[in-house]
Amino acid sequence: MPVFEYKGLNKQGRNTKGVVDADSLRAAKTKLKRDGVFVTDIKDKTKSAKKAKGTGAVQTGRVSIDDLSMMTRQLATLIKANIPLVDSLAAVSEQVENETLATIMAEMRNFVNEGGAFYKGLLKYPKIFDTIYVSMVEAGEMSGSLDVILIRLAEFKESQSDMNARVKSALFYPVMMLVVTILVLGILFVFVIPKITEVFESTPELKMPWYSEIVIAISGFMVNYWMVILGSMVGITLLFLNWKRTPAGRAQWDQIFLQLPVVGKLGRIIAVSRFTRTLSTLLNGGVPMLTAMSIVRNVVDNETIAKAIDVARENISEGESIAGPLKKSGQFPPIVIHMINIGEKTGELENMLTQVSDAYDFQVKNAVDGLTSLLAPVMIIVMGCVIGIIVFAVMVPMFELSSLGG
């Protein structure tokens, strides 16, 4: 059945918009008129969606984790209220503010109404609905507990969003300080110091301290070879990114990253938290262990830890436990191995993984807060020292110049 997108005025005279399904344009207008909506603009959204799909617009439309988790929770609430999936999808397509998601939900409504499985429809949009999402929905449909699964998915996505926000918040201030420092140094070396150097060079009897000569030499190099410096920085960055994209480069970088002070420990904590949270969510959703392990290796975002998960999966397929190979890898903290081991023995693995992920989420929060509180004063001190040294190197000759003039 076609889906129409409309704009109009409601009974109170306020602007309203949404989508409505009907057999034809006339039927859509009649339905809206019956609902008290005066239509000012209406178009066939199904045709627009097909056209957008052909151009890749729907595939590339931006859908944030927050939008996805809100839509998932709304859908779960409707299904839990015993509203049929087709009607729930239709209602969600009208409620969702994100246009890309609204279009997809309208398409899903038609797909399910024609007899298709919901999870198979989601497979058309891998950039929006990842493997975890699709696998959970499939397990929910097969077990008849789609509402419960969707609520867990919403909670999982909200947890992901919260962690991403914490990490971004922690990195924002240091990055801004670094950018400001680079800009200030660039202005000093390229514009200010060369002007002052001209004054020094006009006074041959002025003796320059060695540190002032170094600062002036750096300034001269940056003025004369700024294109070389900029090109080198861009070239090194591109070479690093290209190397990192290769399988060998990615594996080497991830291994190096985990050994870095402070950030390496934080990266490991985040990876372990993602591993335990995702595995717990998948197992609670009825996804088989081997499938869950294949999915979860992609969410840790670190090849070193992912390889340890691959080894564990192979051992599980041969009838062994999960705790043993994870312990042998040396990539997981002892407390995580201990909790997983207890969970396997007691049959409470999902609950144990949830407890571990909750504990590590708390550690991530503390680590991020500590990193932020540590980096802020360090960046200020470093920035102040560097600029102070440059100013001192320039001011000392200025004082000597003024004494010569006196």
Question: Is the pLDDT confidence value at 52 over 80?
Answer: no
Cα 262 to Cα 86: distance, rounded to the nearest angstrom: 50
pLDDT of residue 56: 42
Contact between 178 and 171 under an 8 Å Cβ cutoff? The reply is: no
pLDDT of residue 243: 94
Count H helices and E strands in the chain, helices first.
Answer: 19, 3
pLDDT tens per residue across span 238-258: 999 999 999 899 999 999 999
pLDDT of residue 48: 52
Taking the CB of residue 189, how many other CB atoms lie within 10 A of it? Answer: 20
Amino acid at 389: I
Length reported for the chain: 406
Taking the CB of residue 154, how many other CB atoms lie within 10 A of it? Answer: 20
pLDDT tens per residue across span 266-294: 888 888 888 888 888 888 878 888 888 88
pLDDT tens per residue across span 310-342: 988 888 888 888 888 888 888 888 888 998 899
Confidence of residue 210 (pLDDT cuts 50, 70, 90): confident
Taking the CB of residue 353, how many other CB atoms lie within 10 A of it? Answer: 24
pLDDT of residue 61: 63
- The domain limits of the chain are 3-129
Outline where DSSP puts E strands in 310-389. none
Cα 280 to Cα 195: distance, rounded to the nearest angstrom: 63
pLDDT of residue 252: 93
Of the given ranges (46-60, 158-172, 351-365), which has the lowest mean pLDDT?
Answer: 46-60
DSSP tag of 127: T
pLDDT tens per residue across span 164-201: 787 777 778 778 888 888 888 888 888 888 888 888 77
Mean pLDDT score of the chain, rounded to an integer? 83
Contact between 8 and 38 under an 8 Å Cβ cutoff? The reply is: yes
Question: Is the pLDDT confidence value at 47 over 70?
Answer: no
One DSSP character per residue, 231-278 reads: HHHHHHHHHHHHHHHSHHHHHHHHHHHHHSTTHHHHHHHHHHHHHHHH
Backbone angles phi, psi at 275, to 5 degrees: -60, -50
Cα 59 to Cα 53: distance, rounded to the nearest angstrom: 7
Half-sphere exposure of 256 (CA within 13 A, CB side): 7
Contact between 90 and 102 under an 8 Å Cβ cutoff? The reply is: no
Of the given ranges (31-35, 220-224, 237-241, 345-349), which has the lowest mean pLDDT?
Answer: 31-35
Question: Is the pLDDT confidence value at 51 over 70?
Answer: no
CA dist list (Å): 225 to 188, 221, 280: 16, 6, 55
More confident residue, 374 or 310: 310
Q: Rounded to two decimals, what is the model's pTM?
A: 0.66
Cα 7 to Cα 12: distance, rounded to the nearest angstrom: 14
Cα 180 to Cα 194: distance, rounded to the nearest angstrom: 21
**Fold of the CATH domain 3-129:** Receptor-associated Protein (1.20.81)
Contact between 154 and 73 under an 8 Å Cβ cutoff? The reply is: yes
pLDDT of residue 122: 92
* pLDDT > 70 fraction of the chain, expressed in percent and rounded: 94
pLDDT tens per residue across span 73-128: 999 999 989 899 999 998 898 888 888 888 899 889 889 988 899 999 999 998 88
Torsion sign (Cα): 10, 16, 18, 22: positive
Question: To the nearest 5 percent, what fractions of the chain are helix, strand and coil?
Answer: 75, 5, 20
Residue with tokens 């989601």: 122
Q: Which residues are within 8 A (CB) of 366 and not within 5 positions of it... i.e. 6 or more apart?
A: none
Mean pLDDT, residues 3-10 taken together: 78
Cα 311 to Cα 84: distance, rounded to the nearest angstrom: 42
Tokens of 237: 């960055």
Q: Quick one: which of 371, 372, 370, 343 has its CA closest to 357? A: 343
Q: Quick one: which of 39, 42, 50, 31 has its CA closest to 10? A: 39
Contact between 338 and 353 under an 8 Å Cβ cutoff? The reply is: no
Residue with tokens 């609950």: 351
Residue with tokens 């590339």: 60
Cα 394 to Cα 121: distance, rounded to the nearest angstrom: 67
Mean pLDDT, residues 352-371 taken together: 82
Of the given ranges (57-66, 235-244, 343-352, 357-366), which has the lowest mean pLDDT?
Answer: 57-66
pLDDT of residue 54: 42
